[in-house]
Structure 1
Amino acid sequence: MTAADIMGLDPTAQRGHLAKRISILDAAANVFCREGFSGANIDMIAAEAGVSRQTVYNHHGDKANLFVAVVREITERANAGVFATLATFPDQPRDLEADLVQFAMRLNRNCMCNRDGKFLRKLIQTEGERYPELFEAWRSDGPGKTWAALAARFARLAHAGYLEMDDPDVAARQFLALVNADLHMSLMLGVTPTDEEVASAATNAVRTFLRAYGRRPQATAASSPAP
């Protein structure tokens, strides 16, 4: 069905078509992550989505096209979550460490530990070599833009005197790496970190980051020599 066909549907039919499309993409994501691209097939996906195999073909054509649609859909949702979280960055912090810890926790919960983050990470790990150009688009539209947006926010904090840094782009990449560091192994193994683990990882990350980039106290004047 083409976009023009969808636009011609009544509102109820449009909602039904959209719900079916989302159901197919979510089911396909589950199957691709569980079985890999090679092990997945349209019958599995149709059964999980609760639709006929012909419905899947009508929406996406074949398995390869469906996989591309899944990656693009998850990428769009993941990027939307990242930028919604970036909008909560503490531009005017009352307590810099505490506010950055809360922000780091939101990044992990909303972007790394959520369902879309898990799907995307698994698909990149298992299918990145099969579709390098598809995941390169994810890299430029996802992490590439996230780094730049976060760097701009750190630059503003530095300009306001909260931080000291020569290169906000490097600082932004290092912050994101630190935020994920303690959770990396759990996430690689598909284990969902507990709230306590997310809080601990965020605290460790921010304290390490501030030891590198926190504003240092001004040196005190040298003591006068003893008479």
Structure 2
Amino acid sequence: MGSEVSTGNERAGRGRIERRQAILDGAFTVFARRGYAQACVQEIAREAGVAKPTVYNHLADKESLYREAVEAAADRIGARGVAVVEELRAAGDGDPREALTAVARKLLLAYACEEARAVRQLADAEHGQFPELAASVRERTALRVRCALADRLARLVIAGHLRSCDLELAAEHFLALLTGPLQYRPDADLDDLATAAVDVFLRAYGP
């Protein structure tokens, strides 16, 4: 009997891309719950609603599952961060403090969510077996958002809301002002963190 029939859980007609995404999502959920060593492919298959052989049809082994599941989640987090930063497009016409604070709070929500925390933990936890994974996650999340933010900050410079500066460095400083406090005060009020971060940033980079 084929693997697609044997589970009874796979939706009829589900396409290959959709099945692969379900597998990656299921793998991420299981790895976040159990860690790499304790997770098993059978549990991942159940979580994804597919047969175990279907998992291997899409990804060759547990190592590939781990790497690709974490990277796929990192891509989602990076995309959400870029979408938030894009809201600064209209900041040139209004109050930059208000716009930066709104973006800062949404970025904090993105960084503090359960999925983002799990990505960071999973990327760091298995550094010995996946030495390149932390760098890949950083490229897909922090560096991607920094690049987008630098572009948005350039518009604020042109509008006269910020002084002329090294935009990549300014973006890095802005993000550090948000993510740094989360490491020490993960339960801090996000509105307070956003307000404080923008205040310090504008003191440094205001015109």
Q: TM-score range by the shorter chain?
A: 0.7 to 0.9
Cross-structure match for 1:134: 133
Q: CA deviation at 1:180?
A: 2.0
Higher relative contact order (CA 8 A, sep 6+): 2
Are the equivalent residues in 1 in contact too, given 2:82–2:144 (CA < 8 A)? no
Q: Does 1:211 align with 2:203?
A: yes
Helix, strand or coil for the counterpart of 2:34?
A: helix
* Cα distance in 2, alignment partners of residues 75 and 129 from structure 1: 19
Question: What SS does the aligned partner of 1:92 have?
Answer: helix
When normalised by structure 2's length, the TM-score is 0.81
Contact 2:92–2:161 (CA<8 Å) still a contact in 1?
no
CA distance in 2, matches of 1:175, 1:93: 21
User: Larger Rg: 1 or 2?
Assistant: 1
Moved more, 92-101 or 200-209: 92-101
Contact 1:93–1:99 (CA under 8 A) maintained in structure 2: no
Q: Does 1:47 align with 2:46?
A: yes
Q: Is the 8 A contact 1:181 1:201 kept in 2?
A: no
Query: Whole-Å Cα distance in 2 between the matches of residues 54 and 163 of structure 1?
Result: 56
1:176 deviates by 0.2
Contact (CA 8 Å) 2:92, 2:155: kept in 1 or not?
no
Answer yes or no: is 1:97 the counterpart of 2:97.
yes
1:209 maps to a residue whose letter is F
Q: Which residue of 2 aligns with 1:198?
A: 190
Does the Cα contact within 8 Å between 2:181 and 2:193 map onto a contact in 1? yes
Alignment of 1:33-182 (within 5 A): 33-89=32-88, 90-109=90-109, 111-182=110-181
Q: Deviations over 1:141-196 (max 9, x none)?
A: 43223222212222331232111243222111110011223322455xxxxx58xx
Over 6 Å off, 4+ runs = none
Q: TM-score, normalised by structure 1?
A: 0.75
Aligned residues: 195
Alignment of 1:2-41 (within 5 A): 13=13, 15-41=14-40
CA distance in 2, matches of 1:48, 1:141: 25
**Could you list the runs of 5+ residues in structure 1 that have no partner in the other structure?**
1-11, 188-192, 216-227
1:88 deviates by 0.7
5+ residue gaps, structure 2, are 1-11
**Cα gap change, 1:112 to 1:93, in 2 (>3 Å):** farther
Q: Distance in 2 between matches of 1:69 and 1:43?
A: 17
| AA partner of residue 154 (structure 1) | L
The amino acid across from 1:102 in the alignment is A
CA distance in structure 1 between the partners assigned to 2:95 and 2:152 by the alignment: 16
Deviation at 1:63, TM superposition (A): 0.4
